[in-house]
Amino acid sequence: MPQIERLVVEALSEYVSPIAAQNIVTRALRKAGVDPDSLSPEGWVDFIRDPLLSELRQVIPIREPTGGLSRLLRSLEETPAAQQPRRSEPAPAPPPRDTLVLPKREVDINAKNVREELVNELAREEGVRGVLLQGPDFQESRLPGMEDLAPILGVVNKLLQKEKPYKLFYSVFEEGQLLLRPLGPALVALVAKREANLGRLMHVLNSYEAKGGQS
């Protein structure tokens, strides 16, 4: 794997799991008909800004690169080869028309009735098969037929937090999709069908904030 491709995958891992990040890059390269071994820094800039972002927007409602992906772009643009005059500039991809915009919603996860309401709201999202809200001394769940997942997801959350604080973890498994994110001292997890709208579910999860400002 070319070094720049590895850096792109690492940057995308801020949004999704490493496996999902590699899949996104591979699909974008295939659809664009691009050989990563032959791409110059300038070529990688064009690839990231157009085919890759278009592919990423199928998963996450994102308008512009952020975080590590934005820093990688700046680094590539500052290389001598990328600073040479170009014959033509590709038109920037327009943001998707159906991008979901949700206001931040503060929730008091110390209140049982609020926790139950949150779990019920998430369970009503289209394509969701199960929901877990788990804290140091509480657990609210709607995991019909998947009750054994609760302790496993708790362990996954602890491992992710120990390795590096994360904002949202996403993975695909045989039965569907898994989304996991910290919410203050708790974790909230969704198990969804494969055909569920992943971008919407990610955006809905990220719209919640634990009371006191802890996301």
pTM: 0.55
Q: What percent of the chain has pLDDT over 90?
A: 22
Structure tokens at 59: 């998963």
Could you count the other beta carbons within 10 Å of the beta carbon of residue 27?
14
DSSP state of 82: G
pLDDT at 1: 59
Residue type, 64: E
Task: Report the alpha-carbon distance of residue 89 to residue 86 in Å, rounded.
Answer: 7
pLDDT tens digits for range 43-57: 899 999 898 988 888
pLDDT band at 84 (very low <50, low <70, confident <90, very high): very low
Task: Report the alpha-carbon distance of residue 25 to residue 12 in Å, rounded.
Answer: 9
Contact call for residues 194 and 177 (beta carbons, < 8 A): yes
pLDDT tens digits for range 113-148: 999 999 999 999 999 999 999 999 999 999 888 888
